[in-house]
Amino acid sequence: MHPATVASNGIEIAYETFGAPDARPLLLVMGLGAQMLAWHPEWCEALAARDFFVIRYDNRDVGLSTHLHHAPRPNLFAAWNGDFSSASYRLEDMAEDAVGLLDALGLDRAHVVGASLGGMIAQTMAITHPERVRSLTSMMSTPWVGIGSPTPEARAALMAPPPTNRTQAIERAVRNQKILGSPGYPPDEAWIREVAGQAYDRGFDPLGVARQQLAIWASGDRTKALARVTAPALVVHGDADPLIRLAGGLATAAALPDAELLVIPGMGHNLPRPVWPTLVAAISRLADRAEASHR
């Protein structure tokens, strides 16, 4: 499958689809530095089999979507100390990218599923564009970076210097999954290596990832705003997540007025294959509930 590209919010967004275009639209939003490739095609097909028209895409600054190469250099050290002046954009801008993608595809509303940073973007969409979000699934995410902060080991993995070549990028991906992934499930190392290599070839951009990181830090706490969300919601979190710890998921579920909380034992900061059936079924039930409430 070859990705298509559309204009959205003043940039270009690369995307791919699975399933019938007349099925229920479902938008998948990926996390920090991750490309659409991180949504496994078999996961997308499993959702399509539940009568979803699945859309996965590259966020700005990763993969085949627009990279803001001429933006100010992100200063993460200053941001760590509360100075966000080098931020080129906020999560609100990334949410507008997603809304623009729906516009380009002629979709009034969609079920929105976000993972990690993608969960933050999905939350922001539900806050700023409630009319576009039919249901919200926030996975391994948080309403604010101060809730569910990473373990020291996970923080070190996140902040490590970027690789300088393809081999290093692949080995770092494997190493990081051992730190960040699910202790209750064996890693799929072959797939991790394959995706890391493809991602390097499609658009390796450490400064782009840093701009995304800065957008997270600069966007503040969504806890109060989440209380205004009208979409039915599902919050998914692993009880062994070292990057965004379980407190982040608990806080998200507590902030949303109509949320179901699903805690997965042994799951870390990834989506291991054995939990797919549980997650697909939960997302489908949420969509059924959302659609029944609008009849």
Domains of the chain, by residue range, sit at 4-293
Place of tokens 């806890």: 223
CATH number of 4-293: 3.40.50.1820
Q: How confident is the model at residue 258 (pLDDT cuts 50, 70, 90)?
A: confident
Grade residue 295 by pLDDT with cuts at 50, 70 and 90. Answer: low
pLDDT at 2 exceeding the cut of 80:
no
Instruction: Tell if the pTM clears 0.95, that is, is over it.
Output: yes
Predicted local distance difference test score (pLDDT) of residue 77: 85
For residue 155, what pLDDT band results from cuts at 50, 70 and 90?
Answer: very high
DSSP conformation letters of 178-191: HHHS-TTS---HHH
Burial class (CB in 10 A: 0-12, 13-18, 19+), 128: middle
The average confidence (pLDDT) of the chain is 96
Residue 294 has pLDDT above 90, yes or no: no
CA dist 266 and 238 (Å) reads 6
Tokens for 200, please give them. Answer: 């390097």
**What is the Cα–Cα distance from 230 to 288, expressed in whole angstroms?**
16
- Confidence check: pLDDT of 264 > 70: yes
Distance (Å, rounded) from C-alpha 237 to C-alpha 223?
17
Contacts of 165 (CB under 8 A, 6+ apart): none
Judge contact between 219 and 91, C-beta under 8 A: yes
Q: What is the DSSP letter of 163?
A: P
- Distance from C-alpha of 242 to C-alpha of 132, rounded to nearest angstrom: 32
Q: Are 29 and 138 in contact (CB under 8 A)?
A: no
Average pLDDT, stretch 23-32?
A: 98
Cα–Cα dist 29/79, whole Å: 24
CA gap 237, 124 in Å, rounded: 18
